[in-house]
């Protein structure tokens, strides 16, 4: 989507995915909570694929399933993770 070049779009996606891993490691180092770390990684990794959702990258690398998964299923998983996180956080505060 950025430059209509599948190779460059894949490099941008992989860079953003690596950045998601770095952020998740930092979150784990600070909080020492696995669930919180996985939640942040899942959200940021999904965003890294959603940035290029209209790209030719998915067709050229035969990743149509990933395009549909990151557009339809992964956001639902992230919403469930966020709800569970805040529900557990509120139960601990009560």
pLDDT by residue (tens digit) across 33-81?
A: 999 999 999 999 999 999 988 888 999 999 999 999 999 999 999 999 9
pLDDT by residue (tens digit) across 15-29?
A: 999 999 999 999 999
Measure the CA–CA gap between 25 and 27, rounded to whole angstroms.
5
70: tokens are 């990151």
Measure the CA–CA gap between 8 and 4, rounded to whole angstroms.
8
DSSP code at position 4 = S
23: tokens are 């952020």
């Amino acid at each position: 989507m950025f430059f209509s070049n599948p190779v460059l779009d894949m490099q941008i996606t992989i860079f953003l995915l690596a950045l998601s891993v770095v952020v998740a490691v930092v979150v784990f180092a600070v909080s020492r909570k696995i669930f919180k770390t996985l939640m942040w990684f899942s959200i940021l990794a999904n965003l890294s694929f959603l940035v290029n959702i209209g790209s030719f990258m998915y067709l050229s690398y035969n990743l149509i399933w990933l395009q549909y998964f990151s557009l339809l299923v992964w956001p639902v998983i992230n919403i469930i993770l966020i709800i569970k996180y805040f529900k557990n956080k509120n139960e601990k505060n009560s």
